[in-house]
Chain A
Amino acid sequence: MSEHSTYVPGNAVEKWLDDRLPVVRFAKEHLMDFPTPKNLNYWWTFGAILVMCLGVQIVTGIILAMHYTPNVAMAFDSVEHIRRDVNGGRIIQATHAVGASMFFIALYIHMFRGLFYGSYKAPREILWILGVVIFLLTTATAFMGYILPWGQMSFWGATVISNIFTAIPLVGENIKQLVLGGFAVGNPTLNRFFSLHYLLPFIIAAVVALHIWALHVPGNNNPVGVEVKDSRDTVPFHPYYTMKDLYGMVLFMIPFAWFVFFAPDILGHPDNYVMANAQVTPAHIVPEWYLLPFYTILRAIDFNILFIDSKLGGVIAMGGAMLMLLIVPWLDTSKVRSGVFRPMFKWFFALFAINFVGLMYLGAQPAEGIYTVMAKVCTAYYFIYFLVILPVLSRIETPKPLPTSISESVLGKNAHA
């Protein structure tokens, strides 16, 4: 898929540039002419939507950093200063805060799309792994960013999460002190998290570049999961997918704008409008919603396993739940990519998606009574899905017959319609 360039330098200057640094050729090959399967559905627009989200966060973030003060005495008031006094500050701040939530909505949809259509299967394992790396980096960035307003949830969320390090035997307390720069969350913590929160998005952008590179080597997967056979299966990226992706972005901006302008605080927690106070714990410490599934898994392990105590066990389970995504390409060995043609997989996948929302719901509930039981059941299914169901289904399931090519599947569908 490398020889599809139709670029011919139009004049002497372009020719001169093309011989030295062929950026125009590169852009034409990868942003315009790139052959893309013609049957991609709207779930595929979330990749472009995520690029937009990253851009929005970086631009609004740089602006906020111009007005923000990373100091425990002034951070809370400086965020209020942005909201009250900076021109348009309320909107820019709300866009950044709501933007984090919208980023994760798009990120989760993008990941579940990959999981359903088997986009992680050969030859796209590296593409998938880079995506998981982006997810982990984004989670870390969001977590550090949530500390910066220096409200009660900022402080106590950071305290709870940094205490996770103390579960590591022997060196845990030292690692915690190294991360926090003190014995508890304090000014050094706020300063370094600000610095890293500013840095990480640019690293994410670099990994996104690798992610797109890894996408452009094998080309896109598609809803039927059959590889592209010839040029009849594809259309050039521009104008077909540039316009479709732009349309998806504009649609995505509608709920985004709804939250920014009409309910900017609804995704947050009232306690974060109380300045951080080391001597008062909020009644319930709830992480941001996008971390809740993993928070539930952390809390679900409240029993000792052999010599591993419950605390370390919870940390291992939570870390495992995230890192396990890295090996999904080798857990699901079915040759059929798309879930559309896998009659059994389809149902287990649907249950997995519901289970994930369930984990999210349970993370916001107090850890008592029926909720702890449900948390254990949901956590168990999360792991069983990857470690048992995917490998077993790969062996026992009989997939439906696949179309021989993308163009055949498209024609067949339109004939029925």
Chain B
Amino acid sequence: MIGASNMNIRKLIITAAALAAGLAMAPAQAAGGGAHVERQSWSFGGIFGTYDTNQLQRGFQVFREVCSSCHSAHLISFRNLMEEGGPEFSEAQVRALALEYEVADITAESGRRPAVPADRWPSPFANDQEARDANGGALPPDFSVLAKARGVTDPFPTWIFNYFTGYQEGGPDYIHALLNGYHEEVPETAPHSADGTPFQLPEGKHYNDYFPGHAIGMAPPLADGVVSYAESEDGQSVPQTLEQYSTDVAAFMMWMAEPHLVSRKQTGFAVLIFLVLFAGLMYGTKRKIWAGIEH
């Protein structure tokens, strides 16, 4: 039993890892949560994941042509669109794009001037109240970090595995599911209230499988063919379907929320490789030093 003092290192690592996983708790179930959200295969998922530049450019097109008429993204600047690890538009493209928008500037003659790349993405409404009034009382959430403000709650033990796989794509999974989760009529699967009365959809709301409580203020924003993707240079065309749009825009939203994902993971590899190497050397040094000591 004195063997406890000779704690086997491998056992220690396993115990520490299990503790780390066990201690970190999964977020609680979302109240009135919807159906099970399917995991998608994202180019930026997993430890080797990076953004697909073409997908981000398509996602930006969907955002710009559809979403941005109601949703703001006030933390995004035009310049971000040309930065490395993002949609990587050229500087000329971004300058031309910015010129299409006007921003408020008290130093300008009329109080407004054309945008430059350093400006933030202009919001569609002046303030939250105006946004509510234009959208039947519901506030369209800002997109800047929305992909990280939504998530999927996994049951035990899946959430433990997530700590080891680094699964961080619950937000895009949820957004993709939401955009594909609309029903024109309240379906038979709709939950009954506690006293057994059938689901009542309030006026002006829409039924969605994945929205908590199922009654969402946003009308189905996307449908097959609403956005025209340009043909890529090699002549390959991307399907113009709801499925494709929702995947692309969810990916773009993830980039908006986490613009430095690619460089973060790249640095991470260097750091982890360094640490493992250094740990090996430290272990050798430690053993060498302790070699003559009974302990």
A, B: real partners: yes
Determine which of A84, A105, A290, A340 lies in contact with B4 in the assembled complex, contact meaning CB atoms within 8 Å.
A340
Determine which of B12, B30, B271, B278 lies in contact with A42 in the assembled complex, contact meaning CB atoms within 8 Å.
B12
Rounded to whole angstroms, the CA-CA distance of A80 and B149 in the bound complex is: 13
Determine which of A42, A244, A365 lies in contact with B28 in the assembled complex, contact meaning CB atoms within 8 Å.
A365
A283 touches B31 (CB 8 A): yes
Rounded to whole angstroms, the CA-CA distance of A365 and B166 in the bound complex is: 23
Rounded to whole angstroms, the CA-CA distance of A228 and B53 in the bound complex is: 64
In chain B between 240 and 295, which residues have their CB closer than 8 angstroms to a CB of chain A? 257, 259-260, 264-265, 267-269, 271-272, 275-276, 278-279, 282-283, 285-286, 289-290, 293-295
> Could you give, for residues 237-263 of chain A, a 1 whenever the CB lies within 8 Å of some chain B CB and a 0 otherwise?
001100110110011111101101111
Output the nearest chain B residue to A109 by Cβ-Cβ distance: B19
Distance between B20 CB and nearest chain A CB, rounded to angstroms: 6
Q: Is B170 an interface residue (CB 8 A)?
A: yes
* Interface class of chain A by DSSP: helix
Name the residue in A243, A267, A360, A363 with the highest tally of chain B Cβ atoms < 10 Å from its Cβ: A243
Output the nearest chain A residue to B283 by Cβ-Cβ distance: A247
Q: Is B196 an interface residue (CB 8 A)?
A: no
Q: Is B217 an interface residue (CB 8 A)?
A: no
Output the nearest chain A residue to B148 by Cβ-Cβ distance: A273
Chain A residues with Cβ under 8 A from B3's Cβ?
413
Q: Is A301 an interface residue (CB 8 A)?
A: no
Determine which of B75, B141, B166, B295 lies in contact with A39 in the assembled complex, contact meaning CB atoms within 8 Å.
B295
Determine which of A104, A224, A239, A417 lies in contact with B289 in the assembled complex, contact meaning CB atoms within 8 Å.
A239
Rounded to whole angstroms, the CA-CA distance of A407 and B27 in the bound complex is: 48
Chain B residues with Cβ under 8 A from A341's Cβ?
1
B22 touches A270 (CB 8 A): no
B295 touches A261 (CB 8 A): no
Q: Is A284 an interface residue (CB 8 A)?
A: yes
A360 touches B23 (CB 8 A): yes
Chain A residues with Cβ under 8 A from B7's Cβ?
41-43
Distance between B9 CB and nearest chain A CB, rounded to angstroms: 7
Output the nearest chain B residue to A362 by Cβ-Cβ distance: B25
Q: Is A22 an interface residue (CB 8 A)?
A: no
Rounded to whole angstroms, the CA-CA distance of A140 and B5 in the bound complex is: 34
Known contacts A38-B293, A101-B24; A266 and B166 CB within 8 A of each other: yes
Known contacts A246-B282, A255-B16; A83 and B260 CB within 8 A of each other: yes
Determine which of B22, B47, B141, B275 lies in contact with A254 in the assembled complex, contact meaning CB atoms within 8 Å.
B275
Chain A, interface size category, equals 35 or more
Output the nearest chain B residue to A244 by Cβ-Cβ distance: B286
Known contacts A77-B75, A364-B27; A283 and B212 CB within 8 A of each other: yes
B28 touches A340 (CB 8 A): no
In chain A between 164 and 203, which residues have their CB closer than 8 angstroms to a CB of chain B? none
Determine which of B2, B19, B166, B272 lies in contact with A412 in the assembled complex, contact meaning CB atoms within 8 Å.
B2
In chain B between 1 and 54, which residues have their CB closer than 8 angstroms to a CB of chain A? 1-7, 9, 12-13, 16-17, 19-20, 22-32, 47
B282 touches A270 (CB 8 A): no
Rounded to whole angstroms, the CA-CA distance of A341 and B5 in the bound complex is: 12
> Could you give, for residues 380-417 of chain A, a 1 whenever the CB lies within 8 Å of some chain B CB and a 0 otherwise?
00000000000000000000100100010111111001
Q: Is A344 an interface residue (CB 8 A)?
A: no
A271 touches B268 (CB 8 A): no
Known contacts A77-B75, A91-B267, A273-B145; A224 and B2 CB within 8 A of each other: yes
A413 touches B24 (CB 8 A): no
Determine which of B13, B22, B145, B294 lies in contact with A414 in the assembled complex, contact meaning CB atoms within 8 Å.
B294
A364 touches B285 (CB 8 A): no
A255 touches B293 (CB 8 A): no
The 9 A-B pairs of least Cβ separation, nearest first, read: A261-B268, A273-B149, A223-B5, A283-B31, A270-B151, A284-B28, A364-B25, A262-B166, A247-B282
Q: Could you tell me which A residues sit within 8 Å of B by CB distance? A: 38-43, 77, 80, 83-84, 90-91, 94, 101, 104-105, 108-109, 222-224, 235, 239-240, 243-244, 246-247, 250-255, 257-258, 260-267, 269-271, 273-274, 283-284, 286, 289-290, 292, 340-341, 357, 360-361, 363-366, 400, 403, 407, 409-414, 417
Sample of 9 A–B contacts (CB below 8 Å): A77-B75, A90-B264, A261-B264, A262-B265, A266-B163, A269-B27, A357-B22, A413-B2, A413-B5
Q: Could you tell me which B residues sit within 8 Å of A by CB distance? A: 1-7, 9, 12-13, 16-17, 19-20, 22-32, 47, 75, 80, 141, 144-146, 148-151, 162-163, 166-168, 170-171, 212, 257, 259-260, 264-265, 267-269, 271-272, 275-276, 278-279, 282-283, 285-286, 289-290, 293-295
